[in-house]
Amino acid sequence: MSITVQTATQAFLDEVVDAVALWQQDGVPVQLHPGDLGWHWRLGAEELAQNVRVWRRDGRIAAVGVVDDSRLIRMAIAPSAEKDDLLAARLMADISDPAGAVLPAGTALVEARFGTALRELLHDSGWVPDEPWTPLCRDLTGQVEDCALRVAIVKPRDARDRVAVQRAAFANSTFTLERWLTMISAPPYRRARCLVAYDAHDEAVAAVTVWSAGQGRPGLLEPMGVHRDHRGHGYGTAISIAAAAALREMGSSSAMVCTPSANAGAVATYASAGFQRLPDVTDFRRTG
């Protein structure tokens, strides 16, 4: 049984997205979602491909990792391989090898929230917990209430509002209209929407991108933000409710989001929008 690892190419990014979508399941820890790949795609297919690592068993994709900021890899593992010791050993060897193509020597992080076998190996090999993150989930089997704001699905003609809110919501944002256009032209966006919420004065106050993984699978909010000049009015709650409604309309079984636990405001916002707080999770960190 052969297991190989390779850096992705643009030619098979579609295959990677489809595999990760099929792995999304309710009732299991949140792992890398096709929406995460879609959001990265704003930087271009070539850059994304250079940061994607793909593990195959006998030619079929068994695990995917996205290298983020060079020292963090975010993992997704096929549910059928969740307890696969052989795959976990190969993943661990590749992640730990500073001469390999996954992570450099020294401090590094692995986001492996699913995959018992890999998580146990990381723990037994001396990787320690990093800062906690809070996953939240809203079941979409029932109706979603009205959010009480005008919410528009973003089209190219009004994309500047989407970009402006993103840049005003995140201090170090590098989002641009060009990057938005790149993102919406990519395969993951076929099952995605950008939404912008407007206040009573028709000012754009909040925005979100929602990503479906397909009918009957969990969808993702990535990212959600409120314009810095319009905070404290419940707009984050409103746009999160609108996001849940959009995902339900797209056939998602649930809406997921994960935020740093230290960001108490964000956790409270999602909770007020009907998202259930799940147990905190941590990445694995290697020092030295």
pTM, full prediction: 0.96
Q: Do 78 and 58 meet the contact criterion of CB atoms below 8 Å apart? A: no
Report, in angstroms and rounded to the nearest whole number, the Rg of the chain calculated over CA atoms.
19
Q: How confident is the model at residue 69 (pLDDT cuts 50, 70, 90)?
A: confident
**% of the chain with per-residue pLDDT over 70:** 99
Question: Domains in the chain, start-ordered, CATH in brackets?
Answer: 3-132 (3.40.630.30), 138-280 (3.40.630.30)
Helix (H) or strand (E) holding 145: none
In this predicted model, what pLDDT tens digit does every residue of 223-232 receive, in sequence order? Answer: 999 999 999 9
Distance CA 184, CA 262 (A): 31
